[in-house]
Amino acid sequence: MIRLVLAAVFALFGAAAFADSAPKIAPQSPAQVRLSFAPVVRKAAPAVVNVYVSHVERAPRNPLFDDPIFQRFFGGGGEEEERVQKALGSGVLVDRSGLVVTNYHVVENATAVKVALADRREFEAKIVLRDPRTDLAVLRLQGGDAFPTLELGDSDALEVGDFVIAIGDPFGVGQTVTQGIVSALARTQIGANDYGFFIQTDAAINPGNSGGALVDLDGRLVGINSMIFSRSGGSMGLGFAIPVNMVKSVVSAALHGGKSVKRPWLGATLQNVSKDIADNLGLDRPTGALVVEVAERGPAADAGLRRGDVIAAIDGQVVDDAESVGFRLGVKPLGGTARIAALRDGKTFDLPLRLASAPEIPARDALTIHGRSPFDGALVMNLSPAVSEELSLGGAGQGVVVAAVGENSTAAQVGVQKGDIVAAVNGTAIATTRDLERACAERSRWWDLIIRRGGETIRTRLGG
């Protein structure tokens, strides 16, 4: 245990400073400032790994290759050429069987993944779970056993000013350790994932640190380093980590064989409380999450939430904005209930919220459109609360949504985007994926499209 290793630290700080129930204190003398973090690093570093990613891209071949003179001297080629893109990130071993947590953006387009441990052993890795909503992914090492792991801590126990240590592989120079403090908690509106609720630290984080560990002074994982704010491309003292309490739900799903993570669904659309809204509602300050819309059938409606209510806390934990509500619900397991404290007409009341996942009604009936149409190469699905949650569409309603667009496809070339909701094709309303498939199967010289994107309706005409 780290407390035994740090016997000398106890002598300088006093055992009470390290007791779980004792107040935290600042260093009291120069000798205390000169203390080393080496024992913490020795405990944590073996479980932090380097993640090497390869991605094969197929691109149209340069027309120069078709020149007879070029082919005579250099040989011909196929219609496409392959380019291998390589990227580097970090990861954390969280289970002795070889489970590694990293950022989703590190392995997003990977065709091959290799992991190198601190002791220089290397393993091929398989991506077993992707969770783009949290920017997390889980890998499983192929071969080996009894791997070193990091104990998962409690990010809710962190306080601004706590010492933390970041471990990763910045710029590919090798495993690197940096130290700083927790600069802020519950940072939202960062835009990196749907559960924007980050730990901010001034511990130096640079490209390549993504997916690495943020640990406390007990050597426990408290966050996964995810992104930085920088004008130079390097560390400027503004690093952000995904709280470990969110990581736990992803790890749990992977350990139980899941390929995705199901989380509780609120069944309501929220927005942040501005100063004007707070003044109109008679609130002392602009805090909490305003209920804008409540789904007819869902946990929020069952709990009795109404439009205009302000969610102030969940299970006793204060929420400052809409992102905080998403995080507080997102870290909870399905089943059971959570207690919501809400404000209505100047009064505070308590509601039981059922912790259930979003339903997939209607069935998604996913299919890829083929043929001569603007949607050739697009993967489309029927909208449901579950699909809307997966694609971060909010209260998108019903219809057909574009879930993915193939590289170099016709859909990509004409500007079709993931998240587009197809409302009509050539005057025909589109309600299901089969409607869209039939509409695209018809030959047409012109394609008149109505698409909803980001709350706006786009009408366009394309040549056939």
Which of 8-17, 51-60, 151-160, 249-258 has the least mean pLDDT?
8-17
Chain CA centroid to CA 199, Å: 14
Q: Does 141 have pLDDT greater than 90?
A: yes
C-alpha to C-alpha distance for 103 and 319, rounded to whole angstroms: 25
**What's the token pair of residue 192?**
């990196």
Mean pLDDT computed over 86-106: 91
Query: CB–CB of 383/396 below 8 Å?
Result: yes
- Dihedral of CA atoms 283, 289, 292, 295 in degrees, nearest 10, equals -140
What are the Cα distances from residue 457, in Å, to 4, 72, 414?
A: 64, 53, 17
Q: What per-residue confidence (pLDDT) applies to 257?
A: 87
C-alpha to C-alpha distance for 60 and 265, rounded to whole angstroms: 43
Catalytic (active site) residue 256: no
Amino acid identity of residue 199, one-letter, is: I
Given the residues 210, 324, 373, 388, select the one marked as catalytic. 210
Nearest residue to 184 (alpha-carbon basis) of 209, 157, 206, 202: 202
Q: Does 46 have pLDDT greater than 90?
A: yes
Asked whether the CA dihedral 181, 186, 189, 194 is positive or negative, the reply is positive
Q: What per-residue confidence (pLDDT) applies to 236?
A: 64
Catalytic (active site) residue 274: no
Nearest residue to 400 (alpha-carbon basis) of 440, 438, 451: 451
Query: CB–CB of 19/4 below 8 Å?
Result: no
Query: CB–CB of 112/238 below 8 Å?
Result: no
Q: Does 74 have pLDDT greater than 50?
A: no
Chain CA centroid to CA 429, Å: 34
pLDDT band at 128 (very low <50, low <70, confident <90, very high): very high
Given the residues 135, 194, 216, 309, select the one marked as catalytic. 135
pLDDT band at 389 (very low <50, low <70, confident <90, very high): confident
Query: Three-state SS for 101?
Result: strand
- Residues in contact with 28: Cβ distance below 8 Å, sequence separation at least 6, in sequence order: 13
Nearest residue to 91 (alpha-carbon basis) of 36, 128, 143: 128
C-alpha to C-alpha distance for 346 and 312, rounded to whole angstroms: 12
Q: Does 17 have pLDDT greater than 50?
A: no
Mean pLDDT computed over 347-367: 92
**What's the token pair of residue 160?**
């601004």
Q: Does 13 have pLDDT greater than 80?
A: no
pLDDT band at 70 (very low <50, low <70, confident <90, very high): very low
Three-state SS for 266-335 is CCEEEEECCHHHHHHHCCCCCCCEEEEEECCCCHHHHHCCCCCCEEEEECCEECCCHHHHHHHHHCCCCC
Q: What per-residue confidence (pLDDT) applies to 22?
A: 63
Query: Three-state SS for 336?
Result: coil
Strand pairing report for 80-95 and 48-60: antiparallel
Q: What per-residue confidence (pLDDT) applies to 10?
A: 43
Given the residues 105, 155, 169, 384, select the one marked as catalytic. 105
Mean pLDDT computed over 119-137: 92
User: Structural domains in the chain?
Assistant: 2-35 (no CATH), 46-141 (2.40.10.10), 155-248 (2.40.10.10), 268-354 (2.30.42.10), 367-463 (2.30.42.10)
Q: What per-residue confidence (pLDDT) applies to 81?
A: 54
Catalytic (active site) residue 105: yes
